[in-house]
Amino acid sequence: MTEPSPAQRLDLRGTPCPVNFIRCKLTLESMAAGQVLEVSLDRGEPEAMVVPGLRQAGHRVELDGGDESWVSLRVICGAG
């Protein structure tokens, strides 16, 4: 089975906390359960704050690449 393509993408590199989390949350609120949001985030505080916040909000979050300065996330809406 192939993974679904992202329904939406957000490039939040350079976006400070908590703005990056709020933008993810607002985007996910407009999506249907099971849809995928692809997010690019800076490593460090953004990764440490956004990933657990999205999981607590009931979404499944998978790390999907990046490099030493940023990380790519696959967020499955409502699948946590």
Residue (of 54, 64, 65, 66) closest to 74 by Cα position: 64
Express each pLDDT in 48-68 by its tens digit. Answer: 999 999 999 999 999 988 899
Q: What is the sign of the dihedral through the CA atoms of 76, 78, 79 and 80? A: positive
Is 1 a residue whose pLDDT tops 60? no
Portion of the chain with pLDDT greater than 70, in percent? 98
Label the pairing between strands 70-76 and 60-66. antiparallel
Q: Which residue has the tokens 């985007």?
A: 27
Domain ranges of the chain: 8-76
Domain 8-76 has CATH 2.70.150.10: no
- For the entire predicted model, the pTM comes to 0.92
- Per mean pLDDT, which range of 1-10, 11-20, 71-80 is the poorest? 1-10
